[in-house]
Amino acid sequence: NYSQNLKGKTVLITAGPTYEAIDPVRYIGNHSSGKMGFSLAEEAAKRGAKVILVSGPSSQKTSNPEIALHRVTSAKEMFDEVFKHYENVDIAIASAAVADYAPKEVASEKIKKNDDTLVIELVKNPDILKTMGERKHRQFLVGFALETQNEEENAKGKLEKKNLDMIVLNSLRDEGAGFKNDTNKIHIITMHENREFALKSKDDVAKDIMNFIEEKTLK
């Protein structure tokens, strides 16, 4: 009883954290589970879309034949994988929690604990979503924002700066929202709208997000 509204469309989704290697056994990462991105992928596939899911390290799985899953580790790898596909997709959703910085040099051997302090120099990672915005020609582009202050203002700023069509805001102030949880509470912000949704499961949040995208792209 699912609508096949996205039949013939290709949807690219990024999910999960990225791991930035420090040495052969250590990395800098974050607590993103990848759940939101995998839920979005399942939801888009149910609606008939062909889905390309690029995920950082996550324990989430999919057996859906309509989802082509590409697993990557670092932001750089995610960037390269995304731009193998971006040119030809109709909708792109960046739900990955990409590490902002990576170690400038990766030690070739395990770093020994010698000194009392250790300094690791970090350099900025490429902004995948911002680059998608710069290279956008027909794609409907969706970003995520996780803010702790001036949430709506910052999200709107990101929408403009990254040339997005919509941004999904999750506030860390909301109990049960964000990152590690199975639930999420969001606002969807476009240039002209700000719609608030109730706290719900990430599968139901994925439905709200895909409904909103359909509303904006299918005319």
Binding-site ranges for ligand C5P (CB under 6 A): 14, 75, 94, 96, 98, 125, 127-129, 143-145, 158
CA 172 to chain centre: 16
Structure tokens at 107: 């030690």
Active-site pick, 1, 5, 30, 170: 30
Between 147 and 203, whose beta carbon lies closer to ligand C5P? Answer: 147
E strand intervals along 82-125:
91-94, 101-103, 122-124
State yes or no: 207 annotated in a binding site: no
Sign of CA dihedral 201, 206, 212, 215: negative
Amino acid at 63: S
Residue 26 class from Cβ within 10 Å (0-12 exposed, 13-18 middle, 19+ buried)?
A: middle
Between 7 and 124, whose beta carbon lies closer to ligand C5P? Answer: 124
Q: Is 30 a catalytic residue?
A: yes
State yes or no: 162 annotated in a binding site: yes
d(CA 27, CA 49): 35
State yes or no: 203 annotated in a binding site: no
State yes or no: 110 annotated in a binding site: yes
Between 44 and 129, whose beta carbon lies closer to ligand C5P? Answer: 129
Catalytic residue numbers read: 30
Residue positions forming the annotated binding site for CTP: 100, 110, 126-129, 144, 158, 162
Q: Which residues carry a binding-site annotation?
A: 100, 110, 126-129, 144, 158, 162
